């Protein structure tokens, strides 16, 4: 019988994963909920586990000239306390769950879990972050917006693990995260939005938006974003409704137990508009 493993090195971990038999357990804040069984019985797991939160090789925050690189098992709390982590990502993290979850939850888990409502994913997509993926004999990188392909779907193979997340080391004049949840803490997003923007001489030089919880995956479209680039702020403000509506087709939410599609759609557009008004 295959049983759970708690490896002490990354190498050992990758070797185990090479058998394609295991599922990775990191902070557990998604996986333990999903495999919830009956109190005081073992969780309902599809595959045996390889625990990774103890791997120090994956627990780091580093700065290179091009990137801030974050090890996949680094906890949210650690990120909040680091001076290297971009402010907009911290602003996002502080809106995730509550302290008890933030002490153990990770970016790796948030990304691999690939929920359309994942808050960190929303911001990382806007930031054009790159996911570094590793198996025992390869390392590959992928843009996070390509890595996540649908509800709970990524390109991760059973023998792979997310090693790190690389965030391009660029400054933004505006970098905001907005979350609309059912309440002020411990809430899953009904809709969320990360917007990054640079302005030079009254002209937009960068515009990047990602929306959470409005479709099967966090939504973004560089082509739409580029329609803003090169425009003056006045041009955009004078035609604010037209510019806002350019995102309408990107926002394809559903009705569920948390909200309605009309609400999500409207609020997502309202938030873009409200952002433009702050420029």
Partner 1 sequence: MKDMMYAKTIRSKIVKGTIKSITIPPLPEGYFTVSREDILSKNIVKIIFEDMPYYSTGEINHLNEPIMLVVGSDMEIIKQIVDEIKIEYSEENGVFDESQKTIAYHFKKGNPKRAFKNAEKVIEMTYHTGLQEQAYIEPQGFIVYEEDEKVTLIGSIQCPYYVKNAVVYALGCSSDQVRVIQAAVGGAFGGKEEYPSLIACQLAVAVKKVHKPIKLIFEREEDILSTTKRHPSRITLKAAINELNNVTSISADIAIDGGAYTGLSSVVLSRAMIAVSGAYTFENLEVLGHVIKTNTVPNGAFRGFGAPQMFFAIEMFMHHIAKETHQDSFAFRMRHIARQGDKTSTSGTFRDPILLEDLIRVATEKSKYHSKALAYSQPGIYKGIGMSIFLHGCGFTGSGESTHIKAQVKLLKTKDGLVHILVAAVDMGQGIKTTLPKIVSQILEIPIERCIFNYPDTDNVPDSGPTVASRTIMIVGGLVARAAKELKENWIDNLEQIVTKRYVQPSYIKYDESKFKGDAYPAYSWGVSVVEVSVDPITYQTKILNVVSAYDVGKEIDERIIQGQAEGGIVQGIAYGYLENMSANKGVIKQKNLTDYIIPTTLDVSKMSTYILDNPYQYGPFGAKGAGELTLIGGAPAVALAIQMAINKNITKIPVTPEYVMELMHDDD
Partner 2 sequence: MMMIKFILNGEHVEIESDPSRRLLDVLRSDFNLIGVKEGCGEGECGACSILLNHHVVNSCLLPLGNIINQEIMTIEGFKTTKRYQIIEQAYIDAGAVQCGFCTPGMVMATESLLHMNPSPSDFEIKIALSGSLCRCTGYNMIIEAVKIAAERGEGLW
Ligand X SMILES: Cc1cc2nc3c(=O)[nH]c(=O)nc-3n(C[C@H](O)[C@H](O)[C@H](O)COP(=O)(O)OP(=O)(O)OC[C@H]3O[C@@H](n4cnc5c(N)ncnc54)[C@H](O)[C@@H]3O)c2cc1C
Binding site for ligand X (CB under 6 A): 23-31, 33, 52, 72, 96-97, 101, 105-106, 108-110, 112-113, 118-120, 156, 161-162, 186, 188
Size of the site for partner 1 (CB under 8 A): 28
CB of 232 to ligand X, least distance (A): 35
Q: Is residue 168 involved in binding partner 2 (CB under 8 A)?
A: no
Contact string 259-278 vs partner 1 (x = CB under 8 A): xx-xx--xx--xx-xx----
What does 198 bind: partner 1, partner 2, ligand X, none (CB cut-off 5 to 8 Å by kind)?
none
Chain residues 15-34 in contact with partner 2, contact rule CB under 8 A = 25, 27-29, 32-33
CB of 222 to ligand X, least distance (A): 23
What does 215 bind: ligand X, partner 1, partner 2, none (CB cut-off 5 to 8 Å by kind)?
none
Q: Is residue 143 involved in binding partner 2 (CB under 8 A)?
A: no
State which of residues 11, 62, 146, 186 lies at the interface with partner 1 (CB under 8 A). Answer: 186
Of the pair 58, 272, the CB lying nearest ligand X is at 58
Question: Going by C-beta distance under 8 Å and a sequence separation of 6 or more, which residues neighbour residue 239?
Answer: none
Return the DSSP state at 232: B
Of the pair 79, 209, the CB lying nearest ligand X is at 79
Q: Is residue 210 involved in binding partner 2 (CB under 8 A)?
A: no
Of the pair 68, 271, the CB lying nearest partner 1 is at 271
Of the pair 80, 233, the CB lying nearest partner 2 is at 80
DSSP the chain: ----B--SSHHHHHHHHTTT--EEESS-TTHHHHT--STTS----SS-EEE-TT-GGG--EEE-SSEEEEETT-BHHHHHT-SSS-HHHHHHHTTSS-HHHHTT-BHHHHHHHT-TT-HHHHHHHHTT-EEEEEETTEEEEEEHHHHEEETTEES--TT-EEEEEEEE----SEEEEEEEESSSSS--EEEEEEEEEEEETTEEEEEEEEEESSSSS-B--HHHHHTTTT-BHHHHHHTHHHHHHTTGGG------SS--HHHHHHHHHHHHHHHHHH-
The helix/strand/coil state of 75 is strand
Of the pair 55, 204, the CB lying nearest ligand X is at 55
The helix/strand/coil state of 268 is helix
Both tokens of 73, joined, read 């098992």
State which of residues 49, 120, 148, 197 lies at the interface with partner 2 (CB under 8 A). Answer: 49
Of the pair 162, 191, the CB lying nearest ligand X is at 162
Q: Which stretches of the chain bind partner 1, using CB under 8 A?
A: 37-42, 98, 180, 182-188, 256-260, 262-263, 266-267, 270-271, 273-274
């Amino acid at each position: 019988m295959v049983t759970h493993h708690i490896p002490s090195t990354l190498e050992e971990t990758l070797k185990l994963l090479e058998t394609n038999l295991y599922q990775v357990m990191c902070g557990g804040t998604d996986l333990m909920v999903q495999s919830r069984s009956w109190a005081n019985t073992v969780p309902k797991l599809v595959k045996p586990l390889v625990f990774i939160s103890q791997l120090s090789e994956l627990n780091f925050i580093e700065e290179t000239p091009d990137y801030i690189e974050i090890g996949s098992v680094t906890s949210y709390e650690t990120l909040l306390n680091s001076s290297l982590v971009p402010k907009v990502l911290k602003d996002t993290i502080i809106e995730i769950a509550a302290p008890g979850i933030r002490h153990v939850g990770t970016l790796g888990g948030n990304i691999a879990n690939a929920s359309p409502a994942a808050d960190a994913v929303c911001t990382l997509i806007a930031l054009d972050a790159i996911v570094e993926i590793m198996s025992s004999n390869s390392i590959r990188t992928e843009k996070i917006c390509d890595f996540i392909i649908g509800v709970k779907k990524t390109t991760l193979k059973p023998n792979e693990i997310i090693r790190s997340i690389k965030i391009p080391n660029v400054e933004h004049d505006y970098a905001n995260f907005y979350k609309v949840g059912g309440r002020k803490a411990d809430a899953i997003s009904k809709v969320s939005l990360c917007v990054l923007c640079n302005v030079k001489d009254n002209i937009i030089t960068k515009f990047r938006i990602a929306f959470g919880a409005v479709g099967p995956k966090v939504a973004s479209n560089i082509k739409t974003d580029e329609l803003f680039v090169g425009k003056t702020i006045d041009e955009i403000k004078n035609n604010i409704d037209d510019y806002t509506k350019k995102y309408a087709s990107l926002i394809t939410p559903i009705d569920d137990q948390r909200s309605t599609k009309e609400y999500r759609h409207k609020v997502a557009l309202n938030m873009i508009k409200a952002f433009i008004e702050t420029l």
